[in-house]
Structure 1
Amino acid sequence: MKAEATEVLPRQGVRAPGFDRSPQWRDYFSSIEGRETSRNANRRCPMPYLTQLADVARRTGHPVTESAGWKTRGHGPQPEVQGIVCHHTAGPPGGGDYPSLAVVRDGRPGLDGPLSHFGLGRSGRIHVIAAGRCWHNAPSTSPLHDNSSSIGIEAENSGSQPWPEVQLDAYRSLCAELCVEFGLPASRVKAHREVNTAKPDPHSIDMNDFRAAVAVLITGGAGPSWTEEIVKDLPLIRLGDDSYDVKTVRGCLFARGHVPPTAYAGTTAGLEEWLKSTSCDSGLVELVRGFQRAEGIDDDGIVGPGTWPSLLRV
């Protein structure tokens, strides 16, 4: 059964109790003092029209076409960016590089455009279509990938034809640059079919391999990130454990906005007691599972090498 977690955002500049007293974490937290993640910034304040999208696209090295009026096109501003959704157009197999442009930009009967922020031609050309909210994924099974929370990319493909390698390269590169721009992990890149049970797209792309390639591009192929280096020596945290590291997990979840109000009855004192607990109980395990699902990680409820990097990411 899915655990329900209500997001309670920490006050800016507040650190969970206990961190300063642990030498194991002193260097880590001193290195991030005063910094704010793009993710939390996204949560705290609505975003304007995303007028930087053309610059982001150009960083891929692939050709870019800006659709006239794109900077003010959208169903209002984009409220936040928490995920990226990959689509195929299901357009005709012929007709040139990006024959679906008019539909993606202007919409179709019953659904007004824009339908996606980006279009991606067969040649790898990136079309920048809209800077505001687009109708590209509804209903969504993920709150991080609905129209108000995600960027959509519509890649030209009939739904059955082979993908040109240059198009796939541009697809991966664009997703990576968007992750860098908005402070997202590669796990936030999803196929339309992964966040909408009625959709099959993009066809035939193994999204685990796709995300792995995006992750490499995000780091520039430079090997493990500094968080991955740190977590190599950190313990597994699982149900029944009782240790100082459990407090660290609680503090990190709190910093990410994952705290069940029932754990502390909405009081400051209750919150402090929850944060100070060294016990990994069933409630904490369910909270970890909710965090893992939000990050696209295997939701086994265990904090280990696969979960620590996302938990510590800044």
Structure 2
Amino acid sequence: MAPPLSANAFLAALIAEGLTVVEVGDWRNHHRNHAGPWGPVHGVALHHTVTLGSARTVDICRTGYSGLPGPLCHGVITKDGRVHLVGYGRANHAGLGDPNVLRAVIAQTSLPTDNEASVDGNRHFYGFECENLGDGEDPWPDAQLEAIERAAAAVCRAHDWDERSVIGHLEWQPGKVDPRGFTMSSMRARIGGRLDSTPSSTAPALPAPRRPVVDLSQLVAAARTNPRTSGQPVTYAGVRTVEAALVDQGLLSRRYSDGHWGTTTIGAYSAWQRHLGYRGTDADGIPGKTSLAALGKRHGFDVKE
């Protein structure tokens, strides 16, 4: 029985394997541990996301959606080969699966066909979601496939597992097809070859990451519009970026989806302003340049005036 790695050990293992890692918000403390146990861990599960666009993919995997709250994995592997850490602990990724498959993973033997769904995979598997439409046509760039190989190998190396501890979602839960576009046998062969060699701490060269940009003027317009008095509220996509940061900061219980600055968000942002030392009308919940820049610096977005 293997206890999960600490969050710091998990991060260190990925970096030691030569991966470019992006830490998203307070990922170490973002989990579903209140919903059930996390561990013992026995393997790594790979998925595809059925999403388009890296920023959107990372956001969905971190926050989840109606009926399935995030995190939806531990790491999101985007097409550019980066691993974005969005949570650590129990995550909603594997669901119920086949007990015979779990026994084979633990024994590191060939997998049987999955035909049952009775064992809690969220408890026992690390999960990596991989950005892809999952239609069998969306390409898997070489940088992404290498990152999948390195990420799975990193976890296996840290636990002294071999490549048979890595499974696809389609091998765990009946009816699943992910990851689609490469075979798990070919990926396990790559992982096995990597585990037979000394880990490379040299990450492949990647372009600079693109950070979300929040337009302060549009955000203020949305924040100053009260839908109760003016009818249809002003909406702006940047509201969701800021709300996600307030969630990570522990000031907002969840991110809303309509893109307007409601009373709950006003209260949360006012708390952020007070945290920075503002009082009175300077802590009215309407974003200002300094407070917004401070939030963006901590939670990974830039501010445009």
- Is 1:83 the counterpart of 2:59? The answer is no
Deviations along 1:45-75, whole A, 9 cap, x unmatched? x547533222122123231101111111111
1:1-314 alignment to 2 at 5 Å? 40=1, 42=2, 46-47=3-4, 50-76=7-33, 78-92=38-52, 95=53, 97-141=54-98, 142-143=101-102, 146-160=121-135, 161-220=138-197
Q: For residues 55 and 48 of structure 1, do their structure 2 counterparts lie closer, same or farther at Cα, with a shift above 3 Å needed? A: closer
- Indicate conservation of the 8 Å contact 1:159/1:203, yes or no: yes
Q: Counterpart amino acid of 2:47? A: H
CA RMSD of aligned residues (A): 2.0
Moved over 3 A (4+): 46-51, 142-145
Counterpart CA distance in 2 for 1:48 and 1:178 is: 9
- Structure with greater proportional strand content: 2
Distance 1:174 1:212, change over 3 A: same
Task: Provide the C-alpha distance between the structure 1 equivalents of 2:55 and 2:196, rounded to a whole number of angstroms.
Answer: 30
Could you give the per-residue CA deviations for residues 140-162 of structure 1, whole angstroms, max 9, x where no partner exists? 11346811011000010011301
Classify the secondary structure of the residue corresponding to 2:128.
strand
Q: Which amino acid aligns with 1:60?
A: E
Identity of aligned residues (%): 28
Alignment gaps of 5+ in structure 2: 106-119, 200-305
**C-alpha distance in 2 between matches for 1:58 and 1:188:** 20
Query: 5+ residue gaps in structure 1?
Result: 1-39, 223-314
For normalisation by structure 1, the TM-score amounts to 0.53
Aligned to 1:162, the other structure's residue is in SS state coil
The one-letter amino acid of 1:91's match is: T
**Distance in 2 of aligned mates of 1:188 and 1:58:** 20
Count of matched residue pairs: 176
Q: What is the distance in 2 between the residues matched to 1:177 and 1:121?
A: 17
Higher mean Cα deviation, 135-144 or 183-192? 135-144
The structural deviation recorded for 1:78 is 2.6
TM-score after normalising by structure 2: 0.54
Contact 1:49–1:72 at 8 Å: present in 2 too?
Answer: no
CA distance 1:206–1:221, change in 2 (3 Å): farther
Task: State the one-letter code of the partner of 1:154.
Answer: E
1:117-139 alpha-carbon deviations (Å, 9 max, x no partner): 01001000111111211010112
Provide the rounded CA distance (Å) in 2 between the counterparts of 1:55 and 1:206.
28
Relative to 1, partners in 2 of residues 1:75 and 1:123: Cα closer, same or farther, differing over 3 Å?
same
Q: Deviations over 1:247-284 (max 9, x none)?
A: xxxxxxxxxxxxxxxxxxxxxxxxxxxxxxxxxxxxxx
1:98 Cα deviation from its structure 2 partner: 4.2
